Structure 1
């Protein structure tokens, strides 16, 4: 029996292939470890040493958090390349998981700032290896015309959000109420469970094809790759040495350097794709159409990803978390993102299906436009409590809940739509690279974050929320005016 037939007969996990169960729990535990760590990392960096923290300034801690998130998505490009050309998806995911686990282990040890930066390297590279390839392996479970594919991805995404929802509550409570390093240990244990389950269950349920690269490197390609890596590292080391020589090497300036790299990378990618002779005239037009959508996505992620930075600071310092007998841990607010996604997903799925049947479903650029309006509105909403009660007052948790409820509407209008439109607009010769571009939108947005979050300081909250919110809405207006020309450039793609 051929592979297509075997796939169609596998209904062992809620009518889905058995391999989906393996990948569901692997990604659930991986997200548990990652978002558990992120829930307490900001507080660990800026809490005083007496409180178990590192004593960074809040602005430096916020900047490091933002560039950390940027690097995670930047390294996803590396993960996709190594999977396709060197290790295959199954080994790449395993190696990434091992790096992530050791990154959490390093954080769990009381070795100060040095351990923090070592863990950042391990976790960013590990997540970059693991995350894009797990998603690719889900798609590989299904035949080309298998009608279960969309449902399978829906189940898989639910697992992602389930792990992300539980983590801030469990890891956050242990980290904030007991000890930061104990919280990081819990994240390491979560990743350990993911690895054990993935390794043993994967042997039985995942395709052997994932053990081999789909487009293996030839010897000449490998030699050239090694030289390029060595050259890139040499240039990076020279820049660092120059910064040290001129006495400008600091955490803030190092973050600035990484931000510049994260912003330049997608720009270079677009130039390479648009100048390629492999891209047809129609594909060239579609890539041009993708550029304003990419910028909109970057602006959106710059706002959405501030939930673990700016809104986390607001949750700890400006929110009344003592409600009678109930004490709300500031990390618990990080669970609002996945909670609202799980609530909204079936509602939006029904909405798009209903509108499609009536032939009234808005185009992808229109959905992005509305997403920008909601993203900006979520920040303008945060001006209200500060205006009413002042920046020194501690306000009701309902303000944070309301802001998250609004921004997650924006995510439903941009994130899944962006994934879909990326695959539709991708030139055939750059299909994988275009999916990497989608991750780079998040990387670029968080790179911008690493610089602008420095302006979120006591007494300037209204200006910060107002300016960022209005920038998002202004870009939404620009995108609204560009809907027709963008649709024309999309050349038949909706």
Structure 2
């Protein structure tokens, strides 16, 4: 165990230099900006790359399969965060995790940038999933390391950091989407360059700006544990390789079975988390009550993200196939619509922060905010079915319908995402605080694992039924949650 305590780490970081915040916030702001630029730029065009014909520069996959793979990819990205967090805590620390993750992401995008075949595509997916799992959760941890526990700048620092995430997510689809018509590989190349720039900035400024932040290993493996863990990891890799070598040629492991497997894991893993924490002797009776209150919030989160994350699948396809892209004298790239979510978050997040403060004691409690999120997300899907209801599915739709759908969903996101992070820290059992945060992110993994199954039902013929059913389910769940809010609040034992 390292003898470097929390205060020593804080003292090693220059505490002034970036808008009144620790100098290291500059390093992490731009590292995350470029990582999100890279990730969201790639994601904005990835589904099109999969199902566009080979003659148009794509891979020529079946459209439904492409939508399922996109959802599974998103699910694996969130699941891999558990591995990334464990490696940082037990083996090499958060700073090295960020660096190694950035390297893997960059090479993943380089693999996509090379005109090749479907093998290179899946190699890139593995690299990006593992890289994002290393970088994404750990860069946030380094931000927290720079502030003393009683530093009142902490929340504002995370707000500035969050702005970097959304700025990267806003700019990249506009740039990469503009290049999509020229070459998918050029767009992926720009994403790789973005990650490279982020890595260079991180390496050049971390020693001066971050001090000891991210350099310590929180709970290092003992030599005996290290030997045992590496043996198990090696055996695991061998077993997986053997299974794949047998199952793939014999047709046992197909895209379909893999999608189904991830779908099962997406539900099974968080269920196991809940059971282990609830039954643990380290969990008190009050904490068990709060865990029970957390279950409906988790289910609501899964429902919300199942709709929100379809921005990169079903709504991306809708933008490409159903939307009038020549509008107001300009030609719109379908990938540009994916800039709407971060743009609306940037604009509206300060408004919501002001609103909650303004409401004071009248502010909705946590379950009520979650129910509002479900009502907004359901409404966003009801809105997008209206063009088909009024004009049929044969004519192209005014792009403002899609803009309105994204806007309404963001209203829900701002009721759920920051509130969910806060609620997780409050309701988590003391012995499982970090793991409960991992559980929160698994709600997104579960949502996209479910999406991989339900996107199969989307076709032009079923468009209205699809949006109506999924949106209606969210509305019904939102109403049920609103009715149960007082009961759930009681189980929270004083947490509001």
Q: Same fold (TM over 0.5)?
A: yes
Shift of 1:258: 1.9
Aligned to 1:216: 220
In structure 1, runs of 5+ residues without a counterpart are none
Matches of 2:90 and 2:121 in 1, distance apart?
31
Q: Say whether 1:279 aligns with 2:283.
A: yes
Q: Say whether 1:60 aligns with 2:62.
A: no
Where do residues 455-470 of structure 1 align in structure 2 (5 Å cutoff)? Answer: 455-470=457-472
Matches of 1:230 and 1:292 in 2, distance apart?
38
SS where residue 370 of structure 2 aligns? Answer: helix
Q: Quick one: which of 353, 356, 360 aligns to 2:357?
A: 353
SS where residue 210 of structure 1 aligns? Answer: coil
Matches of 1:332 and 1:293 in 2, distance apart?
32
Q: Quick one: which of 395, 398, 401 aligns to 1:396?
A: 398
Shift of 1:418: 0.3
Q: Structure 1 410/354 Cα, relative in aligned 2: closer, same or farther at 3 Å?
A: same
Shift of 1:236: 4.8
Aligned 8 A contact 2:176 2:191 in 1: yes
Q: Quick one: which of 305, 314, 319 aligns to 2:318?
A: 314
TM (norm. structure 2) is 0.95
Matches of 2:11 and 2:243 in 1, distance apart?
53
SS where residue 178 of structure 1 aligns? Answer: coil
Aligned to 1:447: 449
Aligned 8 A contact 2:10 2:145 in 1: no
Question: Residue by residue, what CA displacement relative to the aligned partner does 1:305-326 show, whole Å, maximum 9, x if unpaired?
Answer: 0001000000000000112521
Aligned 8 A contact 1:8 1:143 in 2: no
Shift of 1:344: 0.9
Matches of 1:68 and 1:39 in 2, distance apart?
13
Aligned to 2:19: 14
Aligned to 1:83: 88
Aligned 8 A contact 2:14 2:24 in 1: no
Matches of 2:246 and 2:14 in 1, distance apart?
60
Aligned to 1:420: 422
Question: Residue by residue, what CA displacement relative to the aligned partner does 1:24-47 show, whole Å, maximum 9, x if unpaired?
Answer: 000000000000000110000000
Shift of 1:234: 6.0
SS where residue 382 of structure 1 aligns? Answer: helix
Q: Quick one: which of 367, 370, 390 aligns to 2:372?
A: 370
Aligned 8 A contact 1:7 1:143 in 2: no
Aligned to 1:35: 40
Shift of 1:238: 6.6
Q: Structure 1 238/374 Cα, relative in aligned 2: closer, same or farther at 3 Å?
A: farther
Aligned 8 A contact 1:7 1:17 in 2: no
Question: Residue by residue, what CA displacement relative to the aligned partner does 1:400-455 show, whole Å, maximum 9, x if unpaired?
Answer: 00000100001001100000000111111111111111110000000000111111
Q: Quick one: which of 130, 138, 141 aligns to 2:143?
A: 138
Q: Say whether 1:292 aligns with 2:296.
A: yes
Aligned 8 A contact 1:10 1:18 in 2: yes
Matches of 2:110 and 2:250 in 1, distance apart?
35
Q: Structure 1 393/92 Cα, relative in aligned 2: closer, same or farther at 3 Å?
A: same
Aligned to 1:204: 208
Q: Structure 1 266/450 Cα, relative in aligned 2: closer, same or farther at 3 Å?
A: same
Q: Structure 1 400/231 Cα, relative in aligned 2: closer, same or farther at 3 Å?
A: same
Aligned to 1:192: 196
| Greater Cα offset, 296-305 or 319-328 | 319-328
SS where residue 460 of structure 1 aligns? Answer: helix
Matches of 2:436 and 2:243 in 1, distance apart?
29
| Greater Cα offset, 224-233 or 426-435 | 224-233
Aligned to 2:431: 429
Shift of 1:7: 7.4
Q: Quick one: which of 150, 161, 171 aligns to 1:166?
A: 171
Shift of 1:211: 1.6
| Greater Cα offset, 330-339 or 285-294 | 285-294
Aligned 8 A contact 1:4 1:143 in 2: no
Aligned pairs, how many? 490
SS where residue 268 of structure 2 aligns? Answer: helix
Aligned 8 A contact 2:170 2:343 in 1: yes
Shift of 1:8: 9.4
Matches of 1:410 and 1:19 in 2, distance apart?
32
Matches of 1:290 and 1:223 in 2, distance apart?
37
Aligned to 2:3: none
Shift of 1:5: 7.6
| Greater Cα offset, 407-416 or 8-17 | 8-17
